[in-house]
A and B are shown apart, each in its own frame.
Chain A
Amino acid sequence: MLITASLFSDLTIVKMTEREERRFAEVPRESIKLMAESSGVELSEEVAALLAEDVCYRLREATQNSSQFMRHAKRRKLSVEDLNRALRWSNTETICGYGAQDALPFRPLKEGELFFVEDREINLVELALATNIPKGCAETMVRVHVSYLDGKGNLEPQGTVPTAVQSLSEDLLKYYQQITRAILGEDPHLMKVALLDLQSNSKIAALLPYFVYVISGVKSVSHDLDQLNRLLHMVKSLVQNPYLYLGSYVRSLVSSVMYCILEPLAASINPLNDHWTLRDYAALLLSHIFWTHGDLVSGLYHQILLSLQKVLSDPVRPLCSHYGAVVGLHALGWKAVERVLYPHLPAYWANLQAVLDDYSVSNAQVKADGHKVYGAILVAVERLLKMKALSLTLAAEGSGAGLPGTTTGAVGFRENSPGLSPPPEPLSEPPLGIASHLQAGGAGCPWEEWTPVSLPAMYCELYSFFGDSLAVRFSTGPPLGGATPPGPCQPLEGRKEPASSAPNLENTRKMPQLTASMNISPRRDGSPRMEPQPPSLAATVPGRSLARSSSSSSSSSVSRSRSSSSRPGRSTSQSRDIFPKARFPLPQAGPPAFSFIIGGRQMGRRCQGRRFQTSFTPTPPLTTHPPRAYAHKLPVIGRVSKPVRRWTCSHYSLHLPL
């Protein structure tokens, strides 16, 4: 056994031969003889052979024993230490000097068949005097991470860690600091670069919670429109980044954006601050988040609607909040407007009216705000009407194509107005609502839970508020029914639903004509393109629709709840003498201001229109548009033939009418 030990330590070893059938190494007798000679012993051939064999056996035994130590140390690699332990337990001298963890290179000698372990000489003096003292080993420590959540986690074979709980690397931290500094800093160019990177960087998933946290800081910078803007841009970049999975952070982002839309920001005290643009932008952003990521959080749509509704129905809130609610609803699509804004309108109108009709100087600021709200509502309801008409047309088309199922109508509807219906959610209206309502209404069945008001009824009601200002916008739009050939309707004439939808179609096509009576301030040389229609037509159409709605309301008791809520508003309109008929004097032709009277007609109602007076002076972006250009812009407003899917769609330009 001593020999075995020295075999290892002397390094003069050892020609290892491998005999095929035995499958383990053997020490040849020559080596044994060499070893013996080196220690001054002469060995005979037989003794050497016996010794060689015994040495082999002992080596194997030691190796086998040492493998047990390896197994219990839970390693795959047999170490010198394991062998030493085995030797120690069999009362044999251990081998010293080979405890290094690194692999020892085993080299052949060129001259002979000799192999040895490379062992460089170390200059101890140099080592002792060296100045670069090697660092000690890092402390042994335990780190925990969630590897798999609920047995799922990621299914990648390499088992990476979910990002949410990953600790930040140095680089990510640096990136985070740079980005936030750039975005919130002064340099607009830097900000642009940062935002662009945020939009396209695929490796920032781990930072998402931190960014979301930064964004939630909107509440602390409500005095600084600039910062708010920057934060909103940050939201936009995050939302647009295709590599980010926002998950439940959507909720947090939405609440930050909603804050910008709805809250009476500290910055809005100063009328010079253009917080309106901020709200518009935030509303756009909201709709974008909603359309792209709304499916991540269930019930989000309903929640947003609820909070907007709450703001809208709260008269104590300042007008800028109301404005936010309206643009928010508008941004969420015409259905949201129909469901929230439209039923609230009568109640809200009274308050707004009061503001608008107060001409005291102290009220000037509030009144200006009131006009903003008025304009926003106007734009919203216009689109509502337009889209509703369009959807009716399309639905009629779908059913007119001769396909029996309502689904085809729904499909047609969805295809033709992408992005207009909210993603299917339990609380939102099913996309086939309109088509089905047409048919169900025709069959005389009660409409299901939320009953949309028929277009003519809606129009009448809205007209009662806005008068011709509503009408004029319609007139300028492209002919909506243009895409609707009248042909398909005809085969269905015998049935009831086409009969009821036919007037609708007629309405939609005629309504623009209805509203053409408009007085524009004298300075406007452009005359309305449409000829004013005889009032008789205006009288007939609502009349028809009224008749129809009365017939339908007799069949539907559900719709009454809604209409009853709007009725008090209407009844107050009687006392609401404030609705000005043309009793205002013609406005002075001051350069920055222009005014026009909208001669609204209300069948059976006293208010017949109202005159509008708007001052443009304070808002810089608008002053760039001369009134004339503005007038030419009018037709474009509300155009729906443009792709709606693009979220920065041009028809959505709230500041234009005011």
Chain B
Amino acid sequence: ALLPYVPRVPPTALPGKVTATTFALEMPCCVFDGHANASDAVWLVVAFANASDAFRNPPSRDDVPPYERLPTAHSYMTLETAAAAYACPAPSPAVLRVGGDTACGGEGGRDPCNGPLPSPGPYRVKFLVMGCHGPKAETRWSDPILLRRAASPSTIDPAPARRDSAPVVVASILASLGAALAAAVLGAVGAEAWGSLCRRDPGNGAFAHRSYRTHHIPPALPQPLPPGCGCSPPGLGCFAPRRPGPCPAE
């Protein structure tokens, strides 16, 4: 029996619903009610999108294509689950993850393996109900599911998108301040050196620092002659005039 249900990737925004080797599917809850007994097995058929039309349902469980034959048969069946697991009401988890089992896929295993998908696809899936005597019901094929292809990190360009102007402003202001300072120092030192070579006396406007104290020694003025001095030449001291001695008697 062909059921009208179309399997699909869940529409919710989950970053891991489609990866490079796995994808998630909505659980087909309540889809098989009335078409499958509780003991029947529901399989998931995964096929390359271009090989889905050529897929023929296997007549019995022994003819189920295993995971290892995907490269040659271009399809496999996996996720064998009892039909009771999809009965209403919806159990948890609400999604099926295809390709999530990395431990299986050994040589010659008969158990269904839900191994990672080897290539990006695209793939198409459908659910198939297998009873004791062969396939009993199936859903429609899904839309093609394309897995992610990752880019190489060497394509990432770490250069900044646009150059900020603030560092340029800072650099130019600082450079001009520094140049102005250097020029001022050179100018001041140069002016001092020039000044001390050309001029001996301090320039106008310089204030005298208080460490200097001039001791003013006035030059000596000529002292007035003491009374009674004769006309002796100055500097030789002053002699008291000798009274003329009594004139010698005649």
B and A form one assembly: no
Which residues of A are interface residues toward B (Cβ below 8 A)?
none
